[in-house]
Chains A and B, each alone.
Chain A
Amino acid sequence: MPLTGGQGAEAPPHALRLDGVRFAYGRHAVLDGVSLHVGAGEFVALTGPNGSGKSTLVRVALGLTAAQAGTVHLFGEPSGSLRQRWRVGYVPQRALLVDHLPATVEEVVASGCVARRGWARRPRPDDATRVKRALDVVALSDRRLVPITELSGGQQQRAFIARALVSDPELLVLDEPIAGVDAESQSRFRDALVTRCREEGVAVLLVSHELGAVADDLDRLLLLRGGKVVFDGPPSDLTRGGVSLGVHRTDLPVWLEGLG
């Protein structure tokens, strides 16, 4: 039985910790004994080829899918028994919007406040402040009253990042947030994440096929292949081995096939 995510008596527990997680569809093992951790204020990216199990790993880490073996801890507590779920912010893979969904950007962002204050409670005055701040972070304040369906893909993604930020989460999990997003949105996105991480000590797990604008800001890079973590270390360790993230950052997993 692994320790409950603690590294010692004084150190705070990891925001996210997976130990020996296994998950299989039938006989096909998607996650084959995955162990990883993300600490407070750490900016970690998880990458890997298509079908390497990235999305399943995200679902298991967030408790949307149960691991068949192994343990998942959030803030030192077993995932299932964490009561303050709002401490985890989640940006899903290109959220699929209902056509005609009649909601403004502001309403979408404000929906991220509901869980933290309690589902049946009315909005509090400071909720409006939180929403305003989150919209500022992703630079969508001037579009707050526009229906979300009228935004570009990159802007919609920024709105969903703001929704995740609005409850002041301590762990942010982002699933392919920058795929096909315009350059301006990518750089806004990078600034928002780096600020949360460095200044507010938020733990960030970015799951992505491409690292784009954030490659230089990462503390660690995890490479998942065949359901196993085959590399876990600072990106500079890869660079030292002759890998240039500068050239390959947009299509990293394909290039990394040959490693490990």
Chain B
Amino acid sequence: MTLPLPWPFDREYMQLALASGIVVGACAPLIGTFLVQKRLSLMGDGVGHMAFAGVAAGLLAGVSPLWTALAVAVIGAMTIEWLRLRRRASGDLALAVFFYTGIAGGVVLTGLAGSLNAGVLTYLFGSVLTVSPADALSICVLGVGILAVIAVSWRAMFAVVLDEEAARVAGLPVDALSLGLAALTAVTVVAAMRVVGVLLVAALMVLPVGSAQRVAGSFASTLRWAVGIGVGSVIVGLAVARAGGLAPGGTIVLVASAAFALTAILDPRRRRARTA
């Protein structure tokens, strides 16, 4: 089914890329806004690398790699958060430990699997231009789920990222909310990476948030700006990639990087504060 959209979105593959890209461009920054405040900006990337070990383990054991990747990523992300909550390790150290263990485990397991190497790569570096209608549908279902979770819990999660101890004293379920956010991050990265690639989903968790923070004057507007910049980067990036015959995932990320550079140079929020 092809919708009557203008160029560059006149072909079905571009429309499927647009649909799944917009969902990822909206959901990744929503989750990322909380991760950035918690100084866990690289969580998305770390989860992607743990998923690598999960994919390899699945291929080796002959079970569905998607499920083993999901299991490894969710357990890994929640363990990182648990170590941070229990003050056994700082957030970035815990992340680094799991990140490298994941890569090393993946390398060893793919070595064992031998000829299955190519299979591992397709699970990690999906491309937004090869999205099937079924993939796009599953991404949309995931997106609706993420939106629902954030809509219900963003105020409580804001209280937690603002001041974890005060939130704990007030009786908020800090552990459950933090572990829930970690699990949500893992589910999003694993589900989206096979479709759009790990680079795209992990980068869209961070770059639009960095830009939004320099533009927005409140937390609620940061969430809105981050989603807007994420979705905008996807649309502009896909168009530029088609026009120039460029790799779409990388182009989208570069557009998001350019947006960050622009906001860092202009820094509208600081400028407003100075003139106020």
B273 partner residues in chain A, CB cutoff 8 A: 147, 150
Report which of B39, B169, B173, B218 forms a contact with A90, defined as CB distance below 8 A.
Answer: B169
Report which of A85, A150, A163 forms a contact with B171, defined as CB distance below 8 A.
Answer: A85
A191 partner residues in chain B, CB cutoff 8 A: none
B216 partner residues in chain A, CB cutoff 8 A: 102
B169 touches A119 (CB 8 A): no
A147 touches B171 (CB 8 A): no
B37 partner residues in chain A, CB cutoff 8 A: 98, 101
B222 partner residues in chain A, CB cutoff 8 A: 102
A107 to B219, CA, bound (A): 7
Residue of A nearest to B155 (CB): A114
Whole-angstrom distance between the Cβ of B167 and the nearest chain A Cβ:
7
A116 to B171, CA, bound (A): 8
B83 within 8 A of A: no
- Given the known interface contacts A102-B213, A123-B155, the answer about A147 and B162 at a Cβ–Cβ threshold of 8 Å is no
B212 partner residues in chain A, CB cutoff 8 A: 102
- Given the known interface contacts A102-B216, A103-B219, A111-B155, the answer about A90 and B162 at a Cβ–Cβ threshold of 8 Å is no
A82-130 interface (Cβ within 8 A of B): 83-86, 88, 90, 92, 95, 98, 100-104, 107-108, 110-112, 114-116, 119-120, 123
A104 touches B217 (CB 8 A): yes
A164 partner residues in chain B, CB cutoff 8 A: 166
Interface of A is mostly: mixed
Task: Tell me the count of chain B residues lying within 8 A, CB to CB, of chain A.
Answer: 33
- Given the known interface contacts A84-B171, A86-B171, the answer about A120 and B218 at a Cβ–Cβ threshold of 8 Å is no
Report which of A92, A101, A104, A120 forms a contact with B153, defined as CB distance below 8 A.
Answer: A120
B220 within 8 A of A: yes
B91-144 interface (Cβ within 8 A of A): none
Whole-angstrom distance between the Cβ of A118 and the nearest chain B Cβ:
9
A85 touches B169 (CB 8 A): yes
- Given the known interface contacts A64-B169, A85-B171, A102-B212, the answer about A114 and B156 at a Cβ–Cβ threshold of 8 Å is yes
Whole-angstrom distance between the Cβ of A199 and the nearest chain B Cβ:
23
B163 touches A102 (CB 8 A): no
Task: Tell me the count of chain A residues lying within 8 A, CB to CB, of chain B.
Answer: 35
Whole-angstrom distance between the Cβ of A75 and the nearest chain B Cβ:
13
A186 within 8 A of B: no
A145 within 8 A of B: yes
B214 within 8 A of A: yes
A47 within 8 A of B: no
A95 touches B269 (CB 8 A): no
B32-47 interface (Cβ within 8 A of A): 37, 39
B158 within 8 A of A: yes
Q: Mark B150-163, 1 if CB is under 8 A from A, else 0.
A: 00110110110111
- Given the known interface contacts A90-B170, A107-B158, A107-B219, the answer about A119 and B153 at a Cβ–Cβ threshold of 8 Å is yes
B170 touches A104 (CB 8 A): no
A108 partner residues in chain B, CB cutoff 8 A: 162
Whole-angstrom distance between the Cβ of B202 and the nearest chain A Cβ:
20
- Given the known interface contacts A102-B219, A108-B162, the answer about A64 and B168 at a Cβ–Cβ threshold of 8 Å is yes
Residue of B nearest to A173 (CB): B169
A90 partner residues in chain B, CB cutoff 8 A: 165-166, 169-170
Whole-angstrom distance between the Cβ of A83 and the nearest chain B Cβ:
8
A: residues with CB less than 8 A from B are 62-64, 83-86, 88, 90, 92, 95, 98, 100-104, 107-108, 110-112, 114-116, 119-120, 123, 145, 147, 150, 160, 163-164, 167
Q: Identify the 3 closest CB pairs spanning chains A and B, nearest first.
A: A85-B171, A115-B170, A119-B156
Beyond A62-B169, A85-B171, A86-B170: 15 further Cβ-contacts under 8 Å? A90-B170, A98-B37, A102-B222, A104-B219, A107-B220, A111-B162, A114-B156, A114-B172, A115-B159, A119-B177, A120-B152, A120-B156, A123-B155, A145-B217, A150-B273
8 A–B pairs (Cβ distance < 8 Å), ordered by A? A63-B169, A100-B213, A101-B37, A103-B219, A108-B162, A111-B158, A119-B155, A119-B173
